[in-house]
Structure 1
Amino acid sequence: MARFRIPPVAGGFAAAGAVALAATCWVVFPPSVAGQASPARPAVELPLPWPAQGQASAEVQGLGTLGSRGERTPVPIASVTKVMTAYVVLKDHPLAPGDAGPRITVDEQAEAESTSAEESTAPVRAGRTVSERDLLALMLIPSGNNVARLLARWDAGSQDAFVAKMNREAKALGMTGTTYTGASGVEDSTTSTAEDQLRLAREVMKDDTVRAIVATPSLKVDGVPGTVVNTNTLLGRSGVIGLKTGSSTAAGGALMWAARSSSGALILGVVLHQSPGGTPSAGLQAALATSETLIAAIQRELPAATR
């Protein structure tokens, strides 16, 4: 899809929220037919508060791109990686709506990794069996790195073999700026761009299982103590219905998000590399804040722009 940018007015930045003020206008072009030039005239113009740092990209299903902001240089994406892990697992082992899928035995490695103080994990126990759907939930909702690697071993025999599948799928989706080096995203060497991850968001939201899981604020899983709480605290605000958070020192904060407009249109977006170099929690809060500001502006501007 083609797009045209009206450059931002110099100096228009907000200090606390780290967003570029609405002087930045992005022009939406409707999707073009492959091999044909995009239309000369834009369909919609939206003034949007894009993040002042990092990179971001957004689109409205059926309308087209809302544009992108920031460098197209690949950056670490942390646990947003798990969206591709889910995509590969479900492509190999699809689930019908509401289906729990096969039961998978938790191995000793997944249990041993569950006590790590260095990364986000889910408290699973060796020898227990957990359904495919519940393991996907433990990976996507509380962002269990140990569960991501367990699913990779179950699907492909080893994490390395699974990563090869991840990169093949990325190539097939046209994600030319993406390199996966692990199933969980804990490795800083897993890098991508906002535009690439938006391509993945578009595909993964076609899956009923993913849509249901990422829209879940919290749940209980048999054999797992306590309540599993979603790291995406934007759920239920500004029409947000998913998708996945990510954070690390190198990645800063990252968020792939999905929301419904007041008319029911699906809005997808990705924000990467927010406040890198600090604590993961500070980066995540920055990604959530900038995303919420951007989503709210799209929700507000879109109805008027499409009348």
Structure 2
Amino acid sequence: MHPTAEKITSRRPWAVLAVVAALMAGIAIWVVSAHTIAGSASHRPLSVPSLNWPVDGQTAVDVEGLGRIGTVGVQTPVPIASVTKVMTAYVVLRDHPLRDGEAGPDIVIDQQAEAESSSTEESTAPVRAGQRLSERKLLELLLIPSGNNIARQLARWDAGSQEAFVEKMNRAAAGLGMTDTKYTGASGVEDSTTSTATDQLLLAHAAMRDPVIRAIVATPSVQAGKTMPNTNTLLGRNGVIGLKTGSSTAAGGALMWAAELSDGATQRLVLGVVLHQNSGNSPRAGLEAALSESGKLIAALEQALPGIVNANR
């Protein structure tokens, strides 16, 4: 035996034990890390080229089957405006599930929803008290033209009051692991509803697993006495198939988006959230910034995805 080794073994057994303990700890850490990576693709470290990331606000992007492409900006809770409505739809459909193409039960429009439909201070959809509209139609009016009055109508229908519905929204957020999110209303008009891009990305994954939400957010327009276009003007460009816009002075522009992009062999679902674009200015200017910055990022991802996939096989 080598004399040095013998000396260590015979005179300093604690040193050998320390080395063994360190090796075992290292193995344990590796096993935990490997399990985390295998169990949650969103935590895998990926090799990603430089992309056209927004320089303002915060952004997070995931690619189905790969994981987190990137997170940019400080992930502190900010107002999210009408992106809130994705959680509203998610909770309604969790409580009252529909099959794809199913209309669901009729809902009687109340006087409050009609009165709010004439507001010039927020986005609304035209409805009349006593009118009977299906759950599916109201979800379309919620997500396509972004009707705030429809969000509150759905909340009252589902939970009896908006306050009770908000409790459900926050429980659902907690269940999805959205630890930096707080909902205070069903529509997002309240600046006190705040979240982060990474939290909203968790919701995007859950929402796109519902075929009804997935179909609605890909719809260019809805009829409600008139044609009401989808507020997401990126639809149909660079593989975009959804999801939801938001804008206010405090929130700036926000966009939760979904796109189907080719990796050179198959189509992959790519999900992203862009928040707090051009905040402090007009809601319109903020929304234009969110759409523009998201559009540039998605176009860059469309070109880069085959290389990203090959580099991370």
TM-score (norm 2): 0.85
Q: 2:201 aligns with which of 188, 198, 201?
A: 198
Alpha-carbon distance in structure 2 between the residues aligned to 1:217 and 1:59: 24
Tell me which residue corresponds to 1:131.
134
Tell me which residue corresponds to 2:78.
75
Kindly provide the amino acid, as one letter, of the partner of residue 294 in structure 2.
S
1:22-71 Cα offsets, whole Å, 9 max, x none, are: xxxxxxx99714599x77xx443221111111000001011110120001
* 3-state SS, counterpart of residue 185 of structure 1: coil
The alpha-carbon deviation at position 228 of structure 1 amounts to 1.7
Tell me which residue corresponds to 2:62.
59
Residues 82-97 of structure 1: matches in 2 within 5 Å? Answer: 82-97=85-100
Larger radius of gyration: 2
Alpha-carbon distance in structure 2 between the residues aligned to 1:82 and 1:271: 15
Alignment of 1:188 with 2:184, yes or no, is no
Alpha-carbon distance in structure 2 between the residues aligned to 1:30 and 1:235: 37
1:59-110 Cα offsets, whole Å, 9 max, x none, are: 1011110120001110000000000000000000000111000000000000
Tell me which residue corresponds to 1:110.
113
Segments of 5+ residues of structure 2 without an aligned counterpart are 1-33
Q: 1:47 aligns with which of 39, 47, 50?
A: 50
Identity of aligned residues (%): 65
Tell me which residue corresponds to 2:15.
none
Alpha-carbon distance in structure 1 between the residues aligned to 2:156 and 2:36: 39
Kindly provide the amino acid, as one letter, of the partner of residue 125 in structure 2.
A
Q: 2:102 aligns with which of 91, 94, 99?
A: 99
Alpha-carbon contact 1:60-1:265 (below 8 Å) kept = yes
Alpha-carbon distance in structure 2 between the residues aligned to 1:227 and 1:138: 11
Alpha-carbon distance in structure 2 between the residues aligned to 1:107 and 1:33: 49
Alpha-carbon distance in structure 2 between the residues aligned to 1:30 and 1:185: 37
Number of residue pairs the alignment of both structures matches: 273
Alpha-carbon contact 2:46-2:68 (below 8 Å) kept = no
Alpha-carbon distance in structure 1 between the residues aligned to 2:96 and 2:241: 24
Tell me which residue corresponds to 1:5.
none
Alignment of 1:32 with 2:37, yes or no, is yes
* 3-state SS, counterpart of residue 265 of structure 1: strand
Tell me which residue corresponds to 2:302.
299
TM-score (norm 1): 0.86
Alpha-carbon distance in structure 1 between the residues aligned to 2:84 and 2:117: 19
Residues 105-184 of structure 1: matches in 2 within 5 Å? Answer: 105-184=108-187
Segments of 5+ residues of structure 1 without an aligned counterpart are 1-28
Tell me which residue corresponds to 2:239.
239
Alpha-carbon distance in structure 2 between the residues aligned to 1:30 and 1:143: 40
Distance 1:128 1:287, change over 3 A: same
Kindly provide the amino acid, as one letter, of the partner of residue 174 in structure 1.
G
Alpha-carbon contact 1:31-1:63 (below 8 Å) kept = no
Alpha-carbon distance in structure 2 between the residues aligned to 1:126 and 1:295: 41
1:189-243 Cα offsets, whole Å, 9 max, x none, are: 00000000000000000001001000001122xxx31112100000000100000
* 3-state SS, counterpart of residue 170 of structure 1: helix
Q: Which has the higher helix share?
A: 2
